[in-house]
A and B are shown apart, each in its own frame.
Chain A
Amino acid sequence: DQQVKQNSPSLSVQEGRISILNCDYTNSMFDYFLWYKKYPAEGPTFLISISSIKDKNEDGRFTVFLNKSAKHLSLHIVPSQPGDSAVYFCAASPVIGSGNTGKLIFGQGTTLQVKP
């Protein structure tokens, strides 16, 4: 059973507009969430993270929102640029003391295409 789900395999957005990537999780023991970006033939690159004590974290064009009651997080990219075209993965980490060895549970990824 997949604990972290990205239900949209792909998303296409016009340059300059907002990209919204969504992620749902099922395990209430997750308390740290991350977004990674991956280009073909490269490893995932860390983008932004959020702790469960927050509901929003912003870094430049990237903002992550966390809705704990809905077990949902989203990544907003504003404005979107063609160079943002990549696969985006959300990941979740369990709380300290729950046998957490630092493991991350990843979603399946969403392929974002930003059209010029």
Chain B
Amino acid sequence: ETGVTQTPRHLVMGMTNKKSLKCEQHLGHNAMYWYKQSAKKPLELMFVYNFKEQTENNSVPSRFSPECPNSSHLFLHLHTLQPEDSALYLCASSQGRGGPDTQYFGPGTRLTVL
């Protein structure tokens, strides 16, 4: 499945580092999402973009900064993270019609913050 791709698949970073996660969708969708999955917890929505505009920020700390240059690409810029930010970060995309809308996920980036 190459519909939604994410790079890198694994990332280890120190608390003072700056890194970026990349997501690309090849499905012609207009909405893209960032989710966080911590151990033993449900997927938590972080950000939603519809037609390149951010439509949801789920009270995410400012050390996470999303960027959506076009409907096919989504980035998550990371800086001065904390060890508790270690998690699986998932990107998803959907048609973005604002109604019943199935989201398709990428494989995720496993982030470890030392």
Interface residues of A (CB under 8 A from B): 2, 4, 31-32, 34, 36, 41-46, 49, 51, 89, 91, 93, 96, 100-109
Contact = CB atoms under 8 A, between A and B. Distances in A.
A105 to B, nearest CB: 8
B90 A34 contact: no
B65 to A, nearest CB: 19
16 contacts: A36-B105, A41-B110, A42-B108, A43-B105, A44-B90, A44-B105, A46-B105, A49-B102, A51-B100, A89-B43, A93-B100, A102-B97, A102-B101, A103-B48, A107-B42, A108-B41
Contact of A104 (B41, B103, B106): B103
B99 A96 contact: yes
B28 to A, nearest CB: 16
Given A4-B42, A102-B31, A102-B94, A43 B107 contact: yes
